[in-house]
Amino acid sequence: MYYSNPTIENLHRIFDQNERKNYLRLDLNENPGGLPQSVIDDVLSNITPQFVSQYPETLQFTEELAKFLHTDIQHLCLVNGSAEGIRYIIQAFTSPKGRIVGVVPSYFMFQVYSEMYDRDFVKVPYNDNLTMDVENIIKELTQDTQLLILLNPNNPMGNCYSDEEFKRILAAAKKNEVTLLIDEAYHYFYPKTFIDYALNEKHIFVTRTFSKLFSLAGCRLGYVTGWPDGIKLVQKLCTPHNTNAFAMKFAEKIITTPEILEDLINKFKEGRKFLIDSLDKNGYPHKGEAGNFIFIKTKTDAINIVNRMKEEKGILIKSYPDVGDFGTCLRVSIGEKKYMERFMKALMDLDRE
Ligand SMILES: Cc1ncc(COP(=O)(O)O)c(C=O)c1O
């Protein structure tokens, strides 16, 4: 008997990531400049036909990554982008109809995976002034809750939790035996991390990615950190050879060459400063720059600006509806100064009353 899963049939997915290559892409929080060409050339110059023909080996890279994170490999699972790690955590640590708590708006895949596996995703909304009241999160950590998803910093709001807020949330999660997933995709744009909790305690995971500051979104690589028995369950769900050999080569080069990372951070900071100064100078309210993205309240219709940015200026940005007091506003990825200059020039041109 032919069968197709009605849950999957009814699942809403957006497949909009094609035909973007000729644009300046400031819509998916990639690094628009990417790694220096010299780094790309250097890594590729060591690639042999055997390297390409063989299944990827993960041990050497995992050991380097463990060194980089001051931990050991039993606390790590490599994944094909952190989105994959998030999926496996939901699969392994929640049950059908199981209760998952997360803030909204947020990275949409949390809700997609919850729906895919028939979980009950409970939304904790932001306040109108775009702050998050942690008491509202704590209230939802009931005894039957299986997983709490936090982001540090959050996407798209760009907000962060103070240590005191985090400790209160964690205490409530522990009291009710709720597994905690902290998504740190935007770590490095903002230095605070909760990874030590994942490396030293049970029932806490931190997921990270090489797609953002590390500029390897095209190669697909991320990792999950957690306690060894939890990591083993995530590993059991991985498809065989799930991580790309090229991705690991590039990532190894970056984590073993401090100047590359420093250069990426410095270029990002220069771009961010330019953008924020320019927005302030021109009277644009903005919010949430802890990640590599920012919300901008425009003077004229935001959706019209998004469309014209694409058609007239060759720049992709996103609009978000109902962002508290900001209403419908722009979300723009932050990158090197030269890209921010191009974006600002286009914005000044298009956003006229
Ligand atoms: C908050 C957050 N988590 C995870 C991801 C997934 O990243 P990747 O699968 O490329 O590692 C993204 C991508 O935009 C994100 O914004």
Which residues does ligand 1 sit against, CB inside 6 Å? 29, 81-83, 107, 151, 155, 183, 185, 209, 211, 217, 222
Residues in the chain: 353
pLDDT in tens, 220-256: 999 999 999 999 999 999 999 999 999 999 999 999 9
- Which region, left, alpha or beta, applies to residue 213 given φ > 0 means left and ψ of -120 to 50 means alpha? alpha
- Per-residue confidence (pLDDT) for residue 80, from 0 to 100: 98
Examine the pLDDT at 42 and tell me if it is beyond 80.
yes
pLDDT in tens, 303-317: 999 999 999 999 999
The residue with greater pLDDT, 16 or 232, is: 232
**313 in Cβ contact with 350 (< 8 Å):** yes
CATH architecture of the domain covering 6-30+259-350: Alpha-Beta Complex (3.90)
pLDDT in tens, 184-211: 999 999 989 999 999 999 999 999 999 9
Examine the pLDDT at 6 and tell me if it is beyond 90.
yes
**206 in Cβ contact with 68 (< 8 Å):** no
User: For the purposes of burial, counting CB atoms within 10 Å of the CB of 165, is it exposed (0-12), middle (13-18) or buried (19 or more)?
Assistant: middle
- Domain edges within the chain: 6-30+259-350, 37-256
- Per-residue confidence (pLDDT) for residue 324, from 0 to 100: 84
Distance, CA of 291 to chain centre = 9
3-class SS of residue 36: coil
**Nearest Cα residue to 350 out of 293, 294, 310:** 310
Examine the pLDDT at 296 and tell me if it is beyond 90.
yes
Tell me the mean pLDDT in the region 25-33: 95
Q: Which of 209, 242, 250 to mutate to test the pocket of ligand 1 (most atoms within 8 A of CB)?
A: 209
Assign 107 a pLDDT band (cuts: 50, 70, 90): very high
Q: What is the mean pLDDT of the chain?
A: 96
**332 in Cβ contact with 293 (< 8 Å):** yes
Examine the pLDDT at 353 and tell me if it is beyond 90.
no
Rounded to two decimals, the pTM is 0.96
How far apart are alpha carbons 103 and 99 in whole angstroms?
13
Dig out the tokens for 117 from the structure.
């596996």
Which DSSP helix (H) or strand (E) runs through 102? strand 99-104
- Per-residue confidence (pLDDT) for residue 159, from 0 to 100: 87
pLDDT in tens, 67-93: 999 999 999 999 999 999 999 999 999
How far apart are alpha carbons 61 and 73 in whole angstroms?
10
Examine the pLDDT at 322 and tell me if it is beyond 90.
no
Examine the pLDDT at 16 and tell me if it is beyond 80.
no
Distance, CA of 30 to chain centre = 10
**226 in Cβ contact with 206 (< 8 Å):** yes
pLDDT in tens, 116-165: 999 999 999 999 888 899 999 999 999 999 999 999 999 888 889 999 99
- Per-residue confidence (pLDDT) for residue 325, from 0 to 100: 87
- Per-residue confidence (pLDDT) for residue 26, from 0 to 100: 97
Dig out the tokens for 351 from the structure.
């956003």
Residue nearest to atom 5 of ligand 1 (CA): 83
Distance 97 CA to ligand 1 centre (A): 25
Question: Which CATH number fits the domain 37-256, given the four candidates 3.90.1570.10, 3.40.640.10, 3.40.50.720, 3.40.50.2300?
Answer: 3.40.640.10
Distance 178 CA to ligand 1 centre (A): 23
- Per-residue confidence (pLDDT) for residue 237, from 0 to 100: 98
Q: How many Cβ atoms from other residues are within 10 Å of residue 87's Cβ?
A: 20
Residue nearest to atom 3 of ligand 1 (CA): 185
Would you report the helix, strand and coil content of the chain in percent, each value rounded to 5?
Answer: 40, 15, 40
